[in-house]
Structure 1
Amino acid sequence: MREWAQHSVDEAGGRATVTITGPLTVASVGKLDPALREMDDESVQFVDLSGAGRVDTVGAWIVYRFARDHHAEIIGGSEQAEVLLDAVERAESSARIKPERPRTVKRVVEHVGELVVQFVMGVRRNIGFLGMVMMAMGNLLMHPRRFRMKALVRQMELVGVSSLPIIGLMSFLIGIVIAQQGAVQLQQFGAETLTINLVGRITLRELGVLMTAIMVAGRSGSAFAAQLGTMNLTEEIDAMRTIGVSPAEALIIPRILAAVLMMPLLGFYACVMAVIGGAVVGDILLDIPFLTFLARIQEVVPTYDFWVGTVKAPVFGIIIAMSGCYQGMQVKGNAEEVGLRTTMAVVQAIFLVIVLDAFFAVFFTQVGWA
């Protein structure tokens, strides 16, 4: 059974002595500490430790603090207790436990300044990373035998072939939603047949490629960051540099090329699945035969809508792959950094994809492809 430290008060001649018995260790002072804190007796002159057992640093600090607060003298302590009491007395400091909180204006200005500096340094590092990739591509062009075709094919499988089921299902459902919601609204004007135009143009021009890019960013962009980040932590990338293998040539360029090559194909596949989803809704809700819906798509959708989506796809692929690889190469320190950089890669890629999509929308409108 656990033995607790206890105290008693002996008063004589207007002076009080607090006698402490039992072990003064972290496991036994749980009841003694609050009892001493509540004691408010100004007549305490001595703290008697002659009945105390084993003492550790916690017990010595509790006794020393009580004696200090009541201006009492500690008597009867063992040699071990005296050593620990002397140590905690010398370790006492009057410094603030928490630093003084700066004023609100100063804190806001400092925080904004830190964000600006981080942004500038991030832009600088991104530009440096882009330069490294371009130099590696130049080296591969000069020495094509160093290009790792097997790594490229493997990444094309991971980025493209493995993502066909989820992208196909997502695009099919998006086509269903667009057709169903569009039909409900257009029926108010007796123009439900224009659902074909709506599904065809919005999927081929915008949503097909955009949703594919978002899905690839969440699936492959995060994988790039996690893979390279883990290799950084395990020092595999440093080992590659040591034996004369360029990490950019072996790891980064195959991933970038795979994303660039597969994005147009995945975007086209997503558009086809979305149109099929719209055709299913047209057949069920609008009494438009399935094959008629598909044939009508060819008539109402301009060819340049297809080219608009096709042009955007490889650019989105570059953005996604560069963001994932860059964040993965920035991992340092610990495993928590891998998760943080992976999240940053996905957020950065999706943000840049949406910004570029808006830019492309304005650009193609200005050149007459609206």
Structure 2
Amino acid sequence: MTVDEPQAEIERRGNELRAVLSGVWTSAHAGPVEQAAAAIMQEKQGAGQVIFDLSGIASLDTLGAWVLDRTRHQIGELGAHADFVGARPEHRVLLDEVAYRGFQETPPPPRRSGIIDFLAQVGESVVQAGRDLVKGVSFLGEVVAAIFRGCLHPARFRLTSVVHHMDMVGFRGAPIVVLISFLVGCIVAQQGLFQLQRFGAQAFVVNLVGILTLRELCVLLTSIMVAGRSGSAFTAELGSMKMREEVDALRVMGLDPIEVLVLPRIFAIIISLPLLTFISAMAGLFGGGLVSWLYGGIPPEIFLVRLQQAVGMSTFLVGLIKAPFMALVIGVIATQEGLEVQGSAESLGRQVTSSVVKSIFMVIVVDGLFAMFFAAINY
């Protein structure tokens, strides 16, 4: 045994056991430290008080202090009193810091009612929805304020950026919108023919396809496609810029991110969505007319004549009137979620998902509100 190894000289005086410690009580001598502590525990039998004399310890680290404090607690649990004496100030601080606490059995989780948990989750969802609504209204206010500032200073309006985003939203998004609308028009006409032929009313499929496509399907399908395609792209673009601190760099340069990043995207989607809605309506009517000709035996000229009789200008305008409002909702939600991205890829994915889900939900809500409004004014 070297001089540096931890040692414990035990002296018994009646009911008192005194352990005089010396040497180096550090992690480099972990084995001897445990052996010395075990020797004290073995000699403890019959002693009512155990005193640890630390005046001879040359060096003490966290491991040594933890073993000593653990041994003191173990002696106390056996009914004896144990204490430290003669410790240097720095050793006393270390002993106080380790503050050994015995492992306690984890109490079982409290029993909870499934109904209460469900109601709590519903309440949390309602509160979160309210917070999202307040954030959305606040962000919309910032956008409106930026628009007024742009009207006062037209030179700050970024037309090039608007045209670029119109190309991405409108021109590049037109093929998929046309394809989806064409297929949906075909499906609606086919199913309408199969159901109406039971009553000998196949000719009314023209009314079904025309009114349903122009009033609801064209604008709803287009808005959902734009929300999933362009809205998610807006969120991802702004989120990536936020992660790379480009948004903060714009603020440092004295530029408003709302004017530079948000307004061009919102204007582009507001202009593009009505155009895509018109293209979607034409594709849906073409699909419905093609299926009516192939399955229902309705020639194209008869289809067009009956379509003019069934559909008025008001029916055509309903879909176009709703399109800018749905575009505004999609643009505000997409850009807001993008600017709320934090510094991680997980946050980016979460905000993109939230952007698409919220946009589609709000598009359906806006469509329902317009349906009630137009029904109330009999339009």
- Bucket of the pairwise TM-score, normalised by the shorter protein: 0.7 to 0.9
Residues 1:203 and 2:213 are matched in the alignment: yes
Preserved CA contact (<8 Å) 1:160 1:266:
yes
Query: Helix, strand or coil: the match of 2:172?
Result: helix
In structure 2, give the amino acid aligned to 1:94. Answer: F
In structure 2, give the amino acid aligned to 1:133. Answer: V
Preserved CA contact (<8 Å) 1:204 1:305:
yes
Aligned to 2:103: 94
Aligned to 1:300: 310
Aligned to 1:33: none
Please show how residues 128-167 of structure 1 align to structure 2 within 5 Å. 128-167=138-177
Aligned partner of 2:204 among 191, 194, 201: 194
The Cα offsets for residues 71-96 of structure 1, whole Å up to 9 and x where unpaired, read as: x86xxxxx99x859839956554356
Query: Helix, strand or coil: the match of 1:94?
Result: coil
More displaced 10-residue stretch of structure 1: 167-176 or 358-367: 358-367
Q: Summarize the Cα distance change of 1:203–1:103 in structure 2 as closer, same or farther, 3 Å threshold.
A: same
What do you get for the CA RMSD once the two structures are aligned?
3.2
**C-alpha separation in 2, matches of 1:185 and 1:293:** 18
Based on CA coordinates, which of the two structures has the bigger radius of gyration? 2
| CA displacement at 1:241 relative to structure 2 | 0.6
In structure 2, give the amino acid aligned to 1:173. Answer: L
| CA displacement at 1:204 relative to structure 2 | 0.5
Preserved CA contact (<8 Å) 1:56 1:84:
no
Preserved CA contact (<8 Å) 2:136 2:336:
yes
Preserved CA contact (<8 Å) 2:136 2:332:
no
Please show how residues 1-370 of structure 1 align to structure 2 within 5 Å. 83=64, 86=67, 89=70, 93-94=102-103, 100-101=109-110, 103-104=112-113, 111-112=121-122, 114-369=124-379
In structure 2, give the amino acid aligned to 1:354. Answer: I
In structure 2, give the amino acid aligned to 1:364. Answer: F
Unaligned runs of 5+ in 1: 1-53, 74-78
State the TM-score, normalized to the length of structure 2: 0.72
Q: Kindly tell me the number of residue pairs found equivalent between the two proteins.
A: 304
**C-alpha separation in 1, matches of 2:108 and 2:278:** 58
Q: Summarize the Cα distance change of 1:256–1:95 in structure 2 as closer, same or farther, 3 Å threshold.
A: farther
More displaced 10-residue stretch of structure 1: 91-100 or 255-264: 91-100
The Cα offsets for residues 184-231 of structure 1, whole Å up to 9 and x where unpaired, read as: 000001000111111111000110111110111111111111111111
| CA displacement at 1:368 relative to structure 2 | 1.2
The Cα offsets for residues 102-145 of structure 1, whole Å up to 9 and x where unpaired, read as: 74377566545544443333222222211111111111000000
In structure 2, give the amino acid aligned to 1:222. Answer: S
**C-alpha separation in 1, matches of 2:124 and 2:236:** 27
| CA displacement at 1:354 relative to structure 2 | 0.7
| CA displacement at 1:293 relative to structure 2 | 1.7
**C-alpha separation in 1, matches of 2:69 and 2:220:** 65
| CA displacement at 1:366 relative to structure 2 | 1.3
**C-alpha separation in 2, matches of 1:291 and 1:98:** 79
Preserved CA contact (<8 Å) 2:334 2:355:
yes
In structure 2, give the amino acid aligned to 1:147. Answer: F
**C-alpha separation in 2, matches of 1:325 and 1:262:** 16
Unaligned runs of 5+ in 2: 1-26, 43-59, 71-98
**C-alpha separation in 2, matches of 1:199 and 1:94:** 72
The Cα offsets for residues 142-169 of structure 1, whole Å up to 9 and x where unpaired, read as: 0000100010001101111111110000
Query: Helix, strand or coil: the match of 1:160?
Result: helix
**C-alpha separation in 2, matches of 1:296 and 1:366:** 27
Preserved CA contact (<8 Å) 1:240 1:247:
yes
Taking every aligned residue pair, what percent have the same amino acid on both sides?
A: 40
Q: Summarize the Cα distance change of 1:115–1:188 in structure 2 as closer, same or farther, 3 Å threshold.
A: closer
**C-alpha separation in 2, matches of 1:171 and 1:349:** 20
| CA displacement at 1:258 relative to structure 2 | 0.8
The Cα offsets for residues 317-349 of structure 1, whole Å up to 9 and x where unpaired, read as: 001111101111111131101111111111111
More displaced 10-residue stretch of structure 1: 88-97 or 313-322: 88-97
State the TM-score, normalized to the length of structure 1: 0.74
**C-alpha separation in 1, matches of 2:260 and 2:29:** 58
More displaced 10-residue stretch of structure 1: 156-165 or 107-116: 107-116
